[in-house]
Amino acid sequence: MSKYFSNKYQSLVPYTPGEQPKDQKYNKLNTNESPFTPSPKAIEYMNEAAKNLQLYSDPDCTRLVNTACEYFGIEKDEILFTNGSDEILNFAFMAFCDKDHPAVFPDITYGFYPVFAEMNGIPYEEIPLEDDFSIDIEKYKGINKTIFIANPNAPTGIALSKGQIEEIVKSNDSVIVIDEAYVDFGAESVVELTKKYDNLLVTQTFSKSRSLAGARLGFGIGCKALIQDLNTIKYSTNPYNVNTVSMMAGVGALEDDKYMKENCKTVMANRVYTVMELERLGFEVLPSSSNFVFAKSNKIGGKELYLNLKEKGILIRHFEKDRLFDYNRITIGSLDQMKALIKAIEEEVL
Ligand SMILES: *Cc1c(COP(=O)(O)O)cnc(C)c1O
């Protein structure tokens, strides 16, 4: 730390992204990326867009907003695109939290939430997950604080139903942010409920199901007033937050919805295979509606498994947090990737 670093941030502990080592080629099952390359249409549009990068990007993302409005059946002032969904989540912490509206989220969830709260000097409360790692919605009803819930949750993969989320939304007079980063892998989206409730913000990303993690594109959908507030934040930080190439990648990806749906189907089938094999090898696997599984071996510790697999060129994610220590989060990739994983695990536990 330099002696010039702002007092505000002296105790800030930044988020630690999953490792992206470059020392060798890994079977990468640690950051929930897609095993598939972007849609050919997205690639075509990106190449086209690259020819005009001498111009600033469109701060309103008009072309992408129009495509998304048709796709989701919403109006153009009900959506805001950002540089990854991490950015819209940060905007939501900035826009909808303060001392009177502290942030609330589960104690085990996306590791960025507490960092966003700290970064913005916002008080926050963490509600412990149940013994089976599920969310008890009763604990979120009528608390009138700004609630952040990843659905499905990370790193557990467990999803709430649309009905359960609606119960939380309608019992609170405060903003409820539902982070649907993984919703395309088998959970129910609540985008439709944004028409009915003026306190619901739904965020999604192009990083997982749409194979565009490197393009950094995410968005939020909510009523006009919420989106207007988020735009106030956006235009006060970076009006050109979405670059032209990524914006056009988004248009291509939405137009090629079939490609995304097929890939999600494949990932879900590979998940069934992976769960079956892990259970055969004595793992306890949480019920996942996501493109990853959260699993614990009865033979080997989480950290040991992570380290041993890394030596074999396979990366999975291990979290140091107490309750998660015995577990690993494993991204579901291609069938070949999963077969290689299972073979390597067999060598560890059989
Ligand atoms: C991956 C992820 C995000 C954000 O990803 P971006 O790449 O910034 O769009 C948000 N929430 C959760 C729970 C995630 O796992």
Condensed to tens digits (0 to 9), the pLDDT of residues 154-171 reads 999 999 999 999 999 999
Which of 83, 207, 210, 241 has most ligand 1 atoms within 8 Å of its beta carbon, as the pocket-test mutant? 207
Nearest CA to ligand 1 atom 12: 181
Nearest CA to ligand 1 atom 15: 181
How close is the Cα of 224 to the center of ligand 1, in Å? 23
The pLDDT of 147-152, averaged and rounded, is 98
Which protein residues touch ligand 1 with a CB less than 6 Å away? Answer: 84-86, 110, 150, 154, 179, 181, 205, 207, 213, 218
Strand 327-331, strand 292-297: pairing: antiparallel
How close is the Cα of 67 to the center of ligand 1, in Å? 22
Condensed to tens digits (0 to 9), the pLDDT of residues 201-257 reads 999 999 999 999 999 999 999 999 999 999 999 999 999 999 999 999 999 999 999
pLDDT at residue 173, as a whole number: 98
The pLDDT of 24-32, averaged and rounded, is 95
| Least-confidence region, from 21-25, 59-63, 176-180 | 21-25
Map out the domains of the chain with their CATH numbers.
19-37+258-349 (3.90.1150.10), 40-255 (3.40.640.10)
How close is the Cα of 299 to the center of ligand 1, in Å? 31
Condensed to tens digits (0 to 9), the pLDDT of residues 208-219 reads 999 999 999 999
Plot region of 243 (φ>0 → left; ψ -120 to 50 → alpha; else → beta): beta
Tokens 């009803």 locate to 141
Nearest CA to ligand 1 atom 2: 181
pLDDT at residue 131, as a whole number: 97
SS (H, E, C) the chain: CCCCCCHHHCCCCCCCCCCCCCCCCCEECCCCCCCCCCCHHHHHHHHHHHCCCCCCCCCCCHHHHHHHHHHHCCCHHHEEEECHHHHHHHHHHHHHCECCECEEEECCCCCHHHHHHHHCCCCEEEECCCCCCCCCHHHHCCCCCEEEEECCCCCCCCCCCHHHHHHHHHHCCCCEEEECCCHHHCCCCCHHHHHCCCCEEEEEECCCCCCCHHHCCEEEECCHHHHHHHHHHHHHHCCCCCCHHHHHHHHHHHHCHHHHHHHHHHHHHHHHHHHHHHHHCCEEECCCCCCEEEEEECCCCHHHHHHHHHHCCEECECCCCHHHCCEEEEECCCHHHHHHHHHHHHHHHC
Residue 150 has pLDDT above 90, yes or no: yes
- Distance between CA atoms of residues 166 and 173, nearest Å: 13
pLDDT at residue 18, as a whole number: 87
Query: Chain-wide mean pLDDT for the chain?
Result: 97
* Per-residue pLDDT band at 312 (split at 50, 70, 90): very high
How close is the Cα of 85 to the center of ligand 1, in Å? 6
Atom number of ligand 1 nearest to Cα 89: 10
How close is the Cα of 86 to the center of ligand 1, in Å? 6
pLDDT at residue 235, as a whole number: 98
Per cent of the chain over pLDDT 90 is 97
Atom number of ligand 1 nearest to Cα 83: 8
* Per-residue pLDDT band at 192 (split at 50, 70, 90): very high
Condensed to tens digits (0 to 9), the pLDDT of residues 289-310 reads 999 999 999 999 999 999 999 9
